[in-house]
Chain A
Amino acid sequence: MIDLDGYGPLLLKGFQLTVLVGVFSMAVAILLGLFGAWGKLSGSRAAQGVVTAYTTIIRGVPELVIILLVYYGIPTLVQDIFDVNVDFNPFVAGIATIGFIYGAFSTEVFRGSYLAIPKGQIEAAKALGMNGMLLFRRILLPQMLRFALPGLGNVWMVLIKATALVSVIQLPELMRNADIAARSTRLPFTCYFAASLLYLGITIVSIIIQQRAEIWANRGVRRAS
């Protein structure tokens, strides 16, 4: 493999961290998305208002501004109000922020997939005595997952590319390490190009996994053709 003046391993280490940040952020985004969809579909006006405000604001502000706001803004805000020093760990701050941003996008995905489930199934489950958690676990979740997979795949593709932005808060992920390598080797094009190919690799693998997952999730569906 290309050595990049000995900086190849550094890039690979950054690659690992990028994947890690991506996977954890995606988990946060899925959880937030489920809660968000629940809030938006619940009868409660207050919950609907909160979730609508969340998705409207997050989707209208660039990720970079939100990352800067969380990493630099929140500690100073807390300091001003409570007069205590807080210092964020870039890893946790990065995951929390990226997860929080893409939670807004997956909220819409889950809301759509819930609405795609035929109402009769929910009525039938209730008639059989299922309620609450059991109904959600047995009837809703498995089917929502099938409808949500294409949307979630898209969210993941955008999310993994957005992780490059956490390099601005000094987290040593792929982009940050490529930056370090570019500065010390004086081969910026080579280093950034290598990094971009690694990102491209993630994208390609993700596309393949998504296709497999969709085939798996749709295995029980009969189609006309």
Chain B
Amino acid sequence: MNMEIIQDSLPKLLDGAAVTIELTFFSLALGLCLAVPLAIMRLHKNPLVWTPVYGFIFYFRGTPLLVQIFLVYYGSGQFQEFLNHIGLWVFFREAYFCAVFTLTLNTAAYTAEIIRGGIQAVPYGEIEAARACGMSGSLLYRRIILSKAFRLAWPSYTNEVVFLLQATSLVSIITLMDITGAARVIASRSFAFYELYITAAVFYLVLVYGILFVFRKIEYRLSGHLRSPSLIA
């Protein structure tokens, strides 16, 4: 094993780690903002509201992320004139934008299903109690349903965060220099394939288990009311 190459490549891989974290963070934040209304619409009684959302979720969960990325990054080229006309081509020509765009839609679909599960798991008695107290509409959602649903969905959401972090490795295929992208470029230049891919794998392992550690801590905090006091003392 050539340790020197690994050492020399560390700065590049650290830059790559910054890109990976950035992509994960932006997509997660935007995806979550999309997922909450999607989950509520998915549970709407009117079929005109829930069927399009169901179709969106089904498509993004049923096809590989790689296809979705190519569909946006290369596929947008087919509509270049139209996109140019409405002034969106400047975005779709950038690999970074396409990556965030696709990852956001993808994670929004998965997260919407997770939040829907959380909303449906909220005990109906709590909603009845809230109604009896005079809450309705957005107040009921904000104070009772969504806050409880988030807590219930947190363990599943942790998994989704880890999957998304790993999924960002695909952006290396559309020329972005995340951890995988940096490792691929250095590896093909130096022929030190296993050294670099193993180092990249270690980077991901650290990130994944770091995220898991933090999210478990948050989960512990969120479930404080469920632990019996005698166990804490």
Complex alpha-carbon distance, A113 and B100, angstroms? 38
Complex alpha-carbon distance, A69 and B169, angstroms? 13
The SS class assigned to the A binding surface is helix
Instruction: Tell me whether B67 and A164 are in contact (CB under 8 A).
Output: yes
Q: Which of A161, A168, A186, A203 contacts B65 (CB 8 A)?
A: A161
Given known pairs A60-B208, A190-B78, the reply for A69 and B198 (CB within 8 Å) is: yes
Chain B residue at smallest Cβ distance from A200? B62
Q: Is A37 positioned at the interface, with any CB of B under 8 Å from its CB?
A: no
Interface members, chain B 157-174 (any A CB < 8 Å): 166-170, 172-173
Q: Is B79 positioned at the interface, with any CB of A under 8 Å from its CB?
A: yes
Within the complex, the shortest CB–CB distance from A88 to chain B, in Å, comes to: 12
Instruction: Tell me whether A189 and B197 are in contact (CB under 8 A).
Output: no
Q: Is B66 positioned at the interface, with any CB of A under 8 Å from its CB?
A: yes
Chain A residue at smallest Cβ distance from B167? A62
Interface members, chain B 174-233 (any A CB < 8 Å): 180, 183-184, 187, 191-194, 197-198, 200-201, 204-205, 208-209
Q: Which residues of B contact A192 (CB under 8 A)?
A: 67, 70-71, 74-75
Instruction: Tell me whether A199 and B64 are in contact (CB under 8 A).
Output: yes
* Most central of B59, B65, B193 by chain A CB within 10 Å: B193
Q: Which residues of A contact B184 (CB under 8 A)?
A: 68
Q: Is A130 positioned at the interface, with any CB of B under 8 Å from its CB?
A: no
Instruction: Tell me whether B193 and A165 are in contact (CB under 8 A).
Output: no
Q: Is A57 positioned at the interface, with any CB of B under 8 Å from its CB?
A: yes
Q: Is B68 positioned at the interface, with any CB of A under 8 Å from its CB?
A: yes
Q: Which of B74, B169, B198 contacts A64 (CB 8 A)?
A: B169
Q: Which of B71, B167, B191 contacts A189 (CB 8 A)?
A: B71
Q: How big is the B interface, by class? A: 35 or more
Q: Which of A76, A167, A175, A188 contacts B75 (CB 8 A)?
A: A188
Q: Is A34 positioned at the interface, with any CB of B under 8 Å from its CB?
A: no
Interface members, chain B 70-99 (any A CB < 8 Å): 70-71, 74-79
Instruction: Tell me whether A61 and B204 are in contact (CB under 8 A).
Output: yes
Complex alpha-carbon distance, A132 and B201, angstroms? 38
Q: Which residues of A contact B194 (CB under 8 A)?
A: 69, 72-74, 76-77
Q: Which of B59, B63, B66, B201 contacts A69 (CB 8 A)?
A: B201
Q: Which residues of B contact A179 (CB under 8 A)?
A: 70
Instruction: Tell me whether B193 and A189 are in contact (CB under 8 A).
Output: no
Q: Is A65 positioned at the interface, with any CB of B under 8 Å from its CB?
A: yes
Within the complex, the shortest CB–CB distance from A98 to chain B, in Å, comes to: 12
Q: Which residues of B contact A193 (CB under 8 A)?
A: 71, 75
Complex alpha-carbon distance, A64 and B173, angstroms? 10
Given known pairs A64-B180, A76-B193, A77-B194, the reply for A189 and B67 (CB within 8 Å) is: no
Interface members, chain A 109-167 (any B CB < 8 Å): 161-165, 167
Interface members, chain A 185-225 (any B CB < 8 Å): 186-190, 192-193, 195-196, 199-200, 203-204
Q: Is A63 positioned at the interface, with any CB of B under 8 Å from its CB?
A: yes
16 examples of A-B residue contacts, CB within 8 angstroms: A64-B173, A68-B184, A68-B193, A69-B194, A72-B197, A74-B194, A161-B65, A164-B64, A164-B67, A188-B71, A189-B74, A189-B76, A192-B71, A193-B75, A196-B68, A199-B67
Supply 16 further A-B pairs (C-beta < 8 A) apart from A59-B208, A188-B74. A60-B205, A65-B169, A68-B183, A68-B193, A69-B193, A72-B193, A73-B193, A73-B197, A164-B66, A165-B64, A165-B170, A168-B173, A190-B78, A192-B71, A193-B75, A203-B63
